[in-house]
């Protein structure tokens, strides 16, 4: 017995050595430098939004006399509130569509067998290799033919379903036990009910992740809204802000003011949905 215990003791894995303190210090220093590098432009944007037009080109970080006049100008003398609402509506509509249709497609690819299943899924993934710049022409032809120019549907229809979301949801639904779904079928529940009441609630972190990524992407979208809208009243925020620049010069104080206000929804999303983002990305590593 003593011999067996001795052999086990010799074969036991050696305890992990603690990480050197110097390595921890260097890691914190590097991370701090990276954080400062990302935060300085953000704070510079906020500081510039409170400068007057004459202070923009002066070599100073903070405004000499901070003012909120730029915010008053942007909110009352421009179409900024309209652009803001347009962006919110477009991002929200696209996000709701993606959350439902990407989940539904991912569920079908994960839990059903049908002819050419892999071929269809590969075709969906292959669409990720096509640059957006090559798609805007057929999108524009479709939008023109359906008379969707200068409409909310015209802005959001290319993103009503996404290949990335279908892939993420397919990976997530693989983690839902088939026995649970079979039990629901035995109880007489229809397939759509199984999807909405059993399978979909089990992958909420992944749904939250694709919803967040889609909202952020649509909120910052510039190229397609620029092409499909020609009237200023129907433009989204990124496109509208571009009109603060002209051939004669740029109103940088107004641009920075608009950019500062446009970050508010993004900050809210990141502050309150960080956990869902991490969980959703982790779920994409499940078996395929």
Instruction: Give CA torsion, residues 58, 60, 62, 63, to 10 deg.
Output: -30
Model-level pTM?
Answer: 0.79
Predicted confidence band of residue 83 (pLDDT cuts 50, 70, 90) = very high
Structure-token pair, residue 253: 């104080």
**How high is the pLDDT of residue 5?**
46
- pLDDT surpasses 70 at 249: no
**How high is the pLDDT of residue 2?**
47
Query: For 256-268, what is the mean pLDDT?
Result: 86
**How high is the pLDDT of residue 287?**
47
- pLDDT surpasses 70 at 3: no
Predicted confidence band of residue 288 (pLDDT cuts 50, 70, 90) = very low
Q: Which residues are within 8 A (CB) of 182 and not within 5 positions of it... i.e. 6 or more apart?
A: none
Give the CA distances from residue 146 to residues 140, 231, 233, 247, 278, in Å, rounded to whole numbers and listed in that order: 10, 18, 20, 34, 39
Which range among 168-172, 187-191, 246-250, 268-272 shows the weakest confidence by mean pLDDT? 246-250
Give the tens place of pLDDT for each residue, 18-28: 556 788 888 88
Query: For 80-95, what is the mean pLDDT?
Result: 92
**86 and 124 in contact (C-beta within 8 Å)?**
no
**208 and 273 in contact (C-beta within 8 Å)?**
yes
**How high is the pLDDT of residue 280?**
57
**99 and 208 in contact (C-beta within 8 Å)?**
no
What are the residue boundaries of the structural domains of the chain, listed by start? Answer: 2-65, 70-283
Domain 70-283 belongs to what topology? MetI-like fold (1.10.3720)
């Amino acid at each position: 017995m003593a011999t067996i215990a001795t052999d086990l003791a010799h074969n036991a894995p050696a305890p992990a050595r603690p990480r050197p303190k110097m390595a921890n210090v260097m890691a914190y220093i590097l991370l701090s430098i990276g954080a400062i590098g990302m935060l300085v432009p953000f704070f510079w944007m906020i500081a510039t939004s409170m400068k007057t037009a004459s202070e923009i080109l002066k070599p100073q970080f903070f405004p000499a006399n901070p003012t909120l006049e730029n915010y008053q100008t942007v909110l009352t003398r421009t179409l900024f509130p309209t652009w803001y609402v347009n962006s919110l509506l477009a991002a929200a509509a696209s996000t709701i569509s993606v959350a439902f249709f990407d989940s539904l497609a991912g569920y079908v690819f994960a839990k059903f067998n049908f002819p050419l299943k892999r071929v269809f899924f590969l075709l969906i993934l292959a669409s990720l290799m096509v640059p957006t710049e090559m798609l805007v022409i057929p999108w524009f032809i479709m939008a023109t033919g359906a008379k969707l120019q200068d409409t909310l549907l015209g802005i959001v229809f290319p993103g009503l379903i996404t290949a990335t979301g279908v892939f993420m949801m397919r990976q997530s639904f693989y983690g839902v036990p088939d026995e649970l779904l079979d039990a629901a079928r035995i109880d007489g529940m229809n397939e759509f009910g199984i999807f909405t009441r059993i399978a979909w609630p089990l992958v909420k972190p992944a749904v939250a992740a694709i919803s967040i990524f889609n909202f952020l992407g649509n909120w910052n979208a510039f190229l397609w809204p620029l092409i499909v809208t020609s009237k200023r009243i129907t433009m989204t925020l990124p496109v509208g802000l571009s009109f603060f620049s002209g051939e004669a010069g740029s109103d940088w104080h107004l641009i920075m003011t608009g950019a500062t206000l446009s970050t508010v929804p993004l900050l809210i999303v990141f502050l309150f949905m960080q956990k869902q983002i991490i969980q959703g990305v982790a779920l994409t590593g499940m078996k395929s």
